[in-house]
Amino acid sequence: MPELIAAVGVASVVVGWFVARQHTLQLDRERERLALIRQQLDEFYAPIYGILLENDRVRMHVWEQTGRRAIMFGEGEPLDEEGVRIWVHYLENYLIPNNRKILSILQNKMHLYRGLEYPNCFRDWVDYALGYEALHSQYRGWGREYGFVSVRNFPTEFLEHIVETMSDLMREQRSVVA
């Protein structure tokens, strides 16, 4: 009988240790998952969203300054000289530098992207950003006319993807913390 009691005691200790170990491993996995989510939000999705939001807000101010609801080059009234100066100021001081910041995040923080491959909207956004920069650089450097637009339209799918993924990560973060 003492051997049975000792065996049950040893088995209880082993089972207790195993359960505690599994619980510790699960907590470690949740901490790692939460740390990755925070890093994805802090270093990838939230900065990109913040920059896109800044570009949008400044562009709205430009529209107000020029008395327009949109700047539609090639489709409608051309900007007057003052409007062109305002738009060039926006491009050179906000849009192109901010697009460079996003490009840097995409280049240097790719490992934080949630997924295996960048979707097409990322490539489309890079085409849009580099198109603006290249054409504007030629305008400034060579005096080339280009209409102050990019070779591509802003891909709204890029913003939608950033916002949706950021929202998913925030929901997941709350579920891990809760």
pLDDT score, position 2? 75
Is 28 or 66 the better-scoring residue by pLDDT? 66
pLDDT grade for 25, boundaries at 50, 70 and 90? low
Domain count, the chain: 1
| 29 within some domain | no
| 8 within some domain | no
Is 108 or 10 the better-scoring residue by pLDDT? 108
pTM of the model: 0.81
| 76 within some domain | yes
pLDDT grade for 40, boundaries at 50, 70 and 90? very high
pLDDT > 90: what percent of the chain?
45
Token pair of 155, please? 């891909």
| 122 within some domain | yes
| 24 within some domain | no
Cα–Cα dist 118/39, whole Å? 18
| 64 within some domain | yes
| 125 within some domain | yes
Cα–Cα dist 126/100, whole Å? 10
pLDDT digit string, tens, across residues 110-154: 899 988 888 999 999 999 999 889 888 888 888 777 666 667 888
Task: Judge contact between 52 and 155, C-beta under 8 A.
Answer: no
| 4 within some domain | no
pLDDT > 70: what percent of the chain?
80
pLDDT grade for 76, boundaries at 50, 70 and 90? low
Cα–Cα dist 107/43, whole Å? 12
pLDDT score, position 21? 66
Question: Domain range holding 50?
Answer: 36-177
